[in-house]
Structure 1
Amino acid sequence: MRQLLAKPLFFNRRIIFYLVILLSLQCIIAYGALLVFDSLPSSLTDIPDDHIVFRESQRGTVNLIRMQINENKDRPLQEVVDELQPYFGYPIEVLPSHTSLPHSINKELAELGFAYDGDKEVVYIDLKEGHLLQLGPIMMRDILESNTMSLSVFLVIWALFSAIVFFILIYFAFSAVWKDLVSIRQTAEQLGQGNLKARTENVKGWLFKPLANVLNNMGTHIEHLVSTNQTISHAMAHELRTPLARMRFELSMLEECDDEQEKLLLQKGMSDDINELETLINASLSYFKMQQSNIELNLTSVSLKQWAEKVCQSLELFKPKGFELVCHSQDVKALIDTNLVETIVKNLLLNAFKYATHKAVLNLTKQDNRVIIEIDDDGPGIPFDAREKIFMPFARLDTSRTRSTGGYGLGLAYVKLMAEFHNGKAFVVTSPLGGARFVVSIKSGEE
């Protein structure tokens, strides 16, 4: 419960942290934008130069001072200036006519009769007759320098509103993506913790939906592999237990037996059981090795009819006495791995020889780019609920096995595996003969 409460708290703190960072960045961006905008020429911004604005703002003051001085020409200049001083918030000073001024100031004085020095923030008035009047320093500053507190408040307010609006837009734009990512992460964590039934159900965004599908497919595949491996492990343990139990029984009988002939029979039985264990282990290793390998198909163009007749003839010696084997094949060409497909057909036919009553029928056809193998028999058939199980390694409907029945339940597992190597599938249905119909569909290469 604490973890569930801690996650929202952590999430809220992270949101606040991101909001503060965004606010600071917005202030910096806004101030930088003002600096850049202020440095642009007036031809681009359509805003007069600060120097001109400040100079022209003093034109009225300059004219009024001149008028006042002209009206009092008969009085000393300094006396008139002293009378005017109380009306101004900055000093007014009479300068000698030979005062050294920058070239740009002298140029403005010559053209306009007054000039503004932005560095010293003073206004110079040319009174003619060799007199020069200085007004200032005047407390007029650039907008980026004057009233820093007001500028800072403006920047903070602007950045705050901008950050909030931007954050809200980002939240609504990416909240669904965030939820998808959280859902995918939770599923991955559950899979990592061993919950193989965990799936990502509520991912709707187009960006991460393919990733969720891949994760779900991976979970399904892992769950199937683990379940299959558990089933195989249990089945293999059962297969190993049977000959071991016989060997233990034979060993105990051997210890109590006094008859030499009977001892030889028991020893032979133990030797047969050892051979059976060795054969089982080798067959199991071969199957697992094939399961883990990526076999490269050796495709050959063959006539299905001729090839099927040859396979059926090679099995004549294995048919039970009085058993009827019928082979039907379409007379067409197909690209197949003859070795793998021959193993598929032989395994299915040998299986039919074992369980069918009197008859088995092989049908081999080509449909579009696939070769269809169908084998019907008149045996007891396969119950519906066991039709997937029989293709698993070591699986048999008859759980008991003696030396007479033989086999390890790997034949049909090999059939399914080799069909999958051919990008195909294997399944079983009910046969028109009353027994089972095994169907294998494999992909035929392009000729």
Structure 2
Amino acid sequence: MSHLLAKPLFFNRRIIFYLVILLSLQCIIAYGALLVFDSLPSSLTDMPDDHIVFRESQRGTVNLIRMQINEHKDRPLEQVVEELQPYFGYPIEVLPSNTSLPDSVQKELVKLGFSYDSDNEVVYIDLNDGHLLQLGPILMRDILESNTMSLSVFLIIWALFSAIIFFILIYFAFSAVWKDLVNIRQTAEQLGQGNLHARTENVKGWLFKPLANVLNNMGTHIEHLVSTNQTISHAMAHELRTPLARMRFELSMLEESQDEQEKLLLQKGMSDDINELETLISASLNYFKMQQSNIELNLTTVSLKEWSEKICQSLELFKPPEFELICNSQDVNALIDTNLVETIVKNLLLNAFKYATHKAVLNITKQHNSVVIEIDDDGAGIPFNSREKIFMPFARLDTSRTRSTGGYGLGLAYVKLMAEFHNGKAFVVTSPLGGARFVVSLKAEDE
């Protein structure tokens, strides 16, 4: 229970952390935006230059001071300035006309009769009598020149409102995406912990729905592989148990037997069982090796009719007596891996020789970009609920297809595996002859 409560608490702390980071970023962005805006020319911002605005705001003050000085020309200039000083909140100072001034200030002074030095925040008035009048420094600051506290307050207020609105918009825009991510993460964690039945559900966002589908497909594939490997392991253990049990029985009989002829028979039986174990292990290892390898197709253009007839002729010696094999093939060319496909056809025909009663029919056709191989027999057929099982390694049915016919149940597993290597599939249905129809569909490019 505490674990469940910890997650929402952690989530809330993370939201607060993100909000603080967002506020800080908003403050930095706001301050930077103010600096950039202030540095832009007035032609872009449509805002008058600060220098001109302040200079023109002092024009009336300059004229009034001149009027006062002109009205008291008979009195010393310093005395008149001293009488005016109490009416101003900044100092007024008399300077000689040859005072060194910046070039821009000097040019403005010559042109207008007064000028504003924005660097020192002072106004200069030319009295045309060999004196200059200095007003200031005059303290007039904009927000960028205000004290740190007031600027910080402004930035925090602006960033707070901006961040809250932005965060609300982001929450409503990405809450569904966040839920999808949490769902996908939980599924991945469950799969990592061994729960192969876990699947990602209710993922509706277009951004992560493909990822959820990939994860679900991967989970299904892993579950199928694990289930298949477990089935194969159990089946192989069963296959190994039978010859081992016979060997144990034969060894026990050998120890008790006094008859030399019987001992020879028991030794031969044990040797046969050892050979059977070696064959079984070798076949199993070959299957697993093929299952793990990535076979590159060696595609060759062949005439399906001529190629299939050669295969049927090569299997004549393996047919049971009075067994009828009919080979029908479409007279077209196809691009296939002849080695893989020949192995598929031979395995299926040998399987038909083993389980059919009197007859098997091979049909090979080309349909669009696929080669379809169909082999019908008149045997006992395959029950519907066993039609997937027979393609599993070591799988056998409890009908005529039993151990007495030989083999380890790997032939059809090889067929399915090689069909998949050829980008195809293999399955079984009911044959018109009454037995089983094995169908293999292979991808085949045009010549």
Q: Deviations over 1:370-429 (max 9, x none)?
A: 222222222221111100000000000039998743210011111111222222211111
User: Would you say 1:359 and 2:359 are equivalent positions?
Assistant: yes
User: Would you say 1:172 and 2:172 are equivalent positions?
Assistant: yes
Provide closer, same or farther for how the CA distance between residues 194 and 69 of structure 1 changes in structure 2, counting only shifts above 3 A: same
Provide closer, same or farther for how the CA distance between residues 32 and 444 of structure 1 changes in structure 2, counting only shifts above 3 A: closer
> 2 CA distance for matches of 1:341 and 1:133?
108
Provide closer, same or farther for how the CA distance between residues 356 and 132 of structure 1 changes in structure 2, counting only shifts above 3 A: closer
> 1 CA distance for matches of 2:299 and 2:74?
124
> 1 CA distance for matches of 2:376 and 2:195?
42
Q: Please report the RMSD computed on the Cα atoms of aligned residues, expressed in angstroms.
A: 2.6
| Matched position secondary structure for 1:203 | coil
| Matched position secondary structure for 2:146 | coil
Q: 1:74 offset after TM fit, Å?
A: 4.6
| Matched position secondary structure for 2:405 | coil
**Which AA in structure 2 matches 1:310?**
K
Deviation larger for 155-164 or 322-331: 322-331
Provide closer, same or farther for how the CA distance between residues 364 and 59 of structure 1 changes in structure 2, counting only shifts above 3 A: closer
Provide closer, same or farther for how the CA distance between residues 311 and 157 of structure 1 changes in structure 2, counting only shifts above 3 A: same
Equivalent residue number for residue 299 of structure 1: 299
**Which AA in structure 1 matches 2:332?**
V
> 2 CA distance for matches of 1:68 and 1:51?
26
> 2 CA distance for matches of 1:373 and 1:207?
42
Equivalent residue number for residue 124 of structure 2: 124
Q: Give the TM-score normalised by the residue count of structure 2.
A: 0.90
Structure 2 residue ranges without an equivalent (≥5): none
Q: Deviations over 1:260-289 (max 9, x none)?
A: 111111111111111111111111111112
User: Would you say 1:84 and 2:92 are equivalent positions?
Assistant: no
| Matched position secondary structure for 2:134 | strand
Equivalent residue number for residue 15 of structure 2: 15
Q: Deviations over 1:77-128 (max 9, x none)?
A: 44444443333223334x2546624154554444433333334433333444
**Which AA in structure 2 matches 1:100?**
T
> 2 CA distance for matches of 1:424 and 1:334?
15
| Matched position secondary structure for 2:151 | helix
Matches within 5 A, 1:220-231: 220-231=220-231
Q: Deviations over 1:209-245 (max 9, x none)?
A: 2222222222111111111110000000000000111
> 2 CA distance for matches of 1:106 and 1:405?
117
Provide closer, same or farther for how the CA distance between residues 315 and 137 of structure 1 changes in structure 2, counting only shifts above 3 A: closer
Equivalent residue number for residue 150 of structure 1: 150
Provide closer, same or farther for how the CA distance between residues 115 and 424 of structure 1 changes in structure 2, counting only shifts above 3 A: closer
> 1 CA distance for matches of 2:50 and 2:433?
104
> 1 CA distance for matches of 2:308 and 2:116?
109
**Which AA in structure 2 matches 1:383?**
P
Structure 1 residue ranges without an equivalent (≥5): none
Equivalent residue number for residue 253 of structure 1: 253
User: Would you say 1:25 and 2:25 are equivalent positions?
Assistant: yes
Equivalent residue number for residue 430 of structure 1: 430
Q: Deviations over 1:187-215 (max 9, x none)?
A: 22221111112222222333332222222
Matches within 5 A, 1:252-401: 252-398=252-398
Equivalent residue number for residue 232 of structure 2: 232
| Matched position secondary structure for 1:144 | helix
Equivalent residue number for residue 139 of structure 1: 139
Provide closer, same or farther for how the CA distance between residues 146 and 426 of structure 1 changes in structure 2, counting only shifts above 3 A: closer
**Which AA in structure 1 matches 2:360?**
A
Provide closer, same or farther for how the CA distance between residues 257 and 140 of structure 1 changes in structure 2, counting only shifts above 3 A: same
Equivalent residue number for residue 39 of structure 2: 39
Q: 1:73 offset after TM fit, Å?
A: 4.2
Equivalent residue number for residue 100 of structure 1: 99
| Matched position secondary structure for 1:295 | coil
Q: 1:75 offset after TM fit, Å?
A: 4.6
**Which AA in structure 1 matches 2:32?**
G
> 1 CA distance for matches of 2:402 and 2:131?
134
> 2 CA distance for matches of 1:326 and 1:40?
91
Give yes or no for contact 1:304–1:330 (8 Å, CA) kept in 2. yes
> 2 CA distance for matches of 1:377 and 1:106?
113
Aligned residues: 446
Q: 1:312 offset after TM fit, Å?
A: 2.7
Deviation larger for 400-409 or 287-296: 400-409
Q: Give the TM-score normalised by the residue count of structure 1.
A: 0.90
Provide closer, same or farther for how the CA distance between residues 359 and 114 of structure 1 changes in structure 2, counting only shifts above 3 A: closer
| Matched position secondary structure for 2:393 | coil
Give yes or no for contact 1:299–1:445 (8 Å, CA) kept in 2. no
Q: 1:170 offset after TM fit, Å?
A: 2.9
Q: 1:311 offset after TM fit, Å?
A: 2.6
Provide closer, same or farther for how the CA distance between residues 313 and 72 of structure 1 changes in structure 2, counting only shifts above 3 A: closer
**Which AA in structure 2 matches 1:270?**
M
> 1 CA distance for matches of 2:301 and 2:170?
61
Query: Percent same amino acid at aligned positions?
Result: 88
Give yes or no for contact 1:55–1:116 (8 Å, CA) kept in 2. yes
Provide closer, same or farther for how the CA distance between residues 331 and 369 of structure 1 changes in structure 2, counting only shifts above 3 A: same
Q: 1:348 offset after TM fit, Å?
A: 1.8
Provide closer, same or farther for how the CA distance between residues 431 and 146 of structure 1 changes in structure 2, counting only shifts above 3 A: closer
> 1 CA distance for matches of 2:106 and 2:359?
124
> 2 CA distance for matches of 1:326 and 1:18?
76
Equivalent residue number for residue 62 of structure 2: 62
> 1 CA distance for matches of 2:244 and 2:172?
67
Give yes or no for contact 1:370–1:442 (8 Å, CA) kept in 2. yes
> 2 CA distance for matches of 1:401 and 1:437?
15
| Matched position secondary structure for 1:321 | coil
| Matched position secondary structure for 2:335 | strand
> 2 CA distance for matches of 1:192 and 1:421?
29
> 2 CA distance for matches of 1:128 and 1:297?
103
Provide closer, same or farther for how the CA distance between residues 124 and 377 of structure 1 changes in structure 2, counting only shifts above 3 A: closer
Post-superposition, which runs of at least 4 consecutive aligned residues in structure 1 deviate over 6 A? 399-403
Provide closer, same or farther for how the CA distance between residues 69 and 343 of structure 1 changes in structure 2, counting only shifts above 3 A: closer
> 2 CA distance for matches of 1:380 and 1:154?
90
Q: 1:130 offset after TM fit, Å?
A: 4.3
